[in-house]
Structures are given as C-alpha cells and as structure tokens.
Amino acid sequence: MIVGVLGGGQLGRMLALAGTPLGLRFHFLDPAPDAPARDVGTLHVGSYDDQERLERLAQNAVVVTYEFENVPVEAARRLEALVPVLPPPAALEAAQDRLTEKRLFARLGIPTPRFGETLADVGLPAVVKTRRLGYDGKGQRVLRSEAEAATAARELGGPLLYEELIEFERELAILAVRSTAGETAYYPLVETEQRDGILRSARAPAGAELQGQAEELAGRLLAELGYAGVLALELFETGGRLLASELAPRVHNSGHWTIEGAVTSQFENHLRAVLGLPLGSTAALGPAALVNLIGGVPPLEELLAVPGAHVHLYGKPPRPGRKLGHVTLVGAGADGVARVVALAEHAAR
C-alpha cells in the first residue's frame, strides 16, 4: 500500500519511518532533490503545481497527505479528483491564511487574542504577521509603536494580520487526531518554548488541569473540518484560560516527543487516521522533553553519550536558524536535558 505525501521534509521522513513497519511504502513530491524524505521512500522531484508529477504521485497511492502546510491548495484540490487527500484540503486552506484561520476560531467560539486587518483593530503592543506563507517566526514582528508598525508594514508587504500581544504564562500545544472512521484521540498537552518564533524545546505532559479545555477546543476544529489525520493547535495559557494561536493541519514539531514518549507516535497515528485504521493509544510513557537542533548539529558521539538521549537527524545541510534535528529524553532527569540544551546551543553558534 503506497501513501503519497506532498512535501519531503523531516515530517515526511518521520511519517515514512513510522509507516514502513506497518508495511506502507511512500512516494513524496518535493521541489528539492535532496529533500530529507529521499532516504525512506521514492522522491518525485518537481513543483507542487506540475500536473504530470501530481498525477504520478496519485497513480499508485491509496491516499495522499501533506507534511507542509504551504503546499498550494490548488494542488491538493487537483489531486482530490484522483485519490483521497487527507487532511481535507479545506483544513489546508484555513491554515494558510492567518485571517481565515482566526475567523474560523471565532466562528467556532474558540477564544483567541484580539485580531484584525489593521493595527487600530487591536491597539499597541501588537504582533503583525503576513497572512500567508509565514513559518518558524518568518514574516512576523512585535510592534510597540506606530513607527514600528509603519516599518513592519512596508517591509513585510502583502496582506497583514494584526494581533493583540498577549501576556501569557505558557505556550502550549495540543495534538488531536481523528480517523476517517470518526474515531478521535488527543495527546497530552505539551509546553513549548519558542524563541524568535522557532520552537526550541517542549515538555510533555504539561499538566492535566487544562487538558479537557484544550481537547474541547481542538475537538471543535476536528468536527467542523470533517478532519482526518493529526491536527496541532497552538495555544497561550493566560490566567487559567486557553487562547488559540495557530492550527497546523499536519503532524507537528511539538509532537516529536511522541516517537519515544507515547505508546503510539503522532506519525503512526496520522497514518492510521488517514487510512481509516484503528487509532493507537496516545498515552505518555513518562515525562518527556524534546530539544530541537537548530542551525548546527552537535557531534553524534556527544549527544549519544547523554543517557537516554534519542537522536533524530533530518539529513539536511546546516544553515543558521534551520531545524536540523531533535533529541528526545523520556523520564530523564533535568541533567540530561540541560546537557542536550548546552550541546545544541554550542552547535548553533
């Protein structure tokens, strides 16, 4: 059984590593000939709007999914004529425009920071984001004055979304999964640490108090979108309440700890979900910490010398600010995590 994947990045690579033991085979479409997924499946190199390549991807696949949310919705829609595309392209569409996304939250009664198309809608301080194509902190700025707002608007260009700058206690994320058979499951809440808009580290489970609230919010999205697959909902915790920040209609960096830290990884459950197979348990096996390797990779022998460190490298050439891998520790003490963080920070410089 072949699964087609739009995008051949590290998420595609980890999908294939999780799906190969289930007897699945993978075909990827990606413009980059050295895409990380090349090692674990057949890589079709081409643009996402190349009709011939899309057809080739669809040819033997039982389902096509995506691992990158900036895949053109048009490509997903064209594929849909040939093969099931899951999560549904409507989810991709909602996630690609930050204003559409926020309006979806609003329509479903999911609380968010105040937002609008002008700074006047939200006041200062604020965050301004391009409505499209931002990721990992690219295409966004914090605004503390009208002057900063004017500069940002000029520099970012294109349609913008303004959001109230939230004073939050924690950034959290919940991963929800729904299968084509309608079965749903939720992973334990994750606390994420972001810097310059990039996820640096994560810890799970992040406490049971807000779990029900987070599941309820994510559940509204699953139902509204007729969803199948894993969906990530990023949240701010402020005064015991959750405000939705962003949704990602795919497996997500905040869930990489599930490979070793949960009974079933987000990658395996995404595949089970889009194939209509029974979902696996999302229970955590213990407290887990995830550290991203950004901009540089520490020597393998130093990482592996940290007891319990599970190393995941994506096979990407180093570049400042680029996610090159991650390390997961399960049930380990703070010592191990601190060692990995120190190694990661040293390598990033």
Angle at CA 69, nearest 5°, toward 66 and 74? 80
**Cβ proximity to a second copy, 172 vs 297, nearer residue:** 297
Q: By CB under 8 A, tell whether 13 contacts a second copy.
A: yes
Q: By CB under 8 A, tell whether 342 contacts a second copy.
A: no
How does strand 2-6 pair with strand 25-30?
parallel
CB count, 10 Å around CB of 124? 14
**Cβ proximity to a second copy, 98 vs 316, nearer residue:** 316
Site mask for a second copy (CB under 8 A), range 269-308, x = bound: ---x---xxx-xx---x-----------x--xx--xx-xx
Q: In terms of Cα–Cα distance, which of 195, 197, 199 is closest to 173? A: 199
CB of 303 vs a second copy, minimal distance in Å: 9
In this structure, are residues 264 and 277 in contact, taking their beta carbons and an 8 Å threshold? Answer: no
Both structure tokens of 44:
């079709």
Report the distance separating Cα 326 and Cα 341, nearest Å. 10
At residue 183, what are phi and psi to the nearest 5 degrees? -70, 140
How does strand 2-6 pair with strand 61-66?
parallel
**Cβ proximity to a second copy, 220 vs 310, nearer residue:** 310
**Cβ proximity to a second copy, 61 vs 95, nearer residue:** 61
In this structure, are residues 19 and 323 in contact, taking their beta carbons and an 8 Å threshold? Answer: no
Q: By CB under 8 A, tell whether 46 contacts a second copy.
A: no
Map the footprint of a second copy across residues 244-273, applying CB under 8 A: 263, 272
Q: In terms of Cα–Cα distance, which of 283, 266, 199 is closest to 230? A: 266
Site mask for a second copy (CB under 8 A), range 194-223, x = bound: ------------------------------
CB of 133 vs a second copy, minimal distance in Å: 29
Q: By CB under 8 A, tell whether 23 contacts a second copy.
A: yes
CB of 294 vs a second copy, minimal distance in Å: 15
Q: In terms of Cα–Cα distance, which of 91, 232, 221, 244 is closest to 163? A: 244
The residue ranges that bind a second copy (CB under 8 A) are 13, 17, 20-23, 25, 39-41, 263, 272, 276-278, 280-281, 285, 297, 300-301, 304-305, 307-308, 310-313, 315, 325
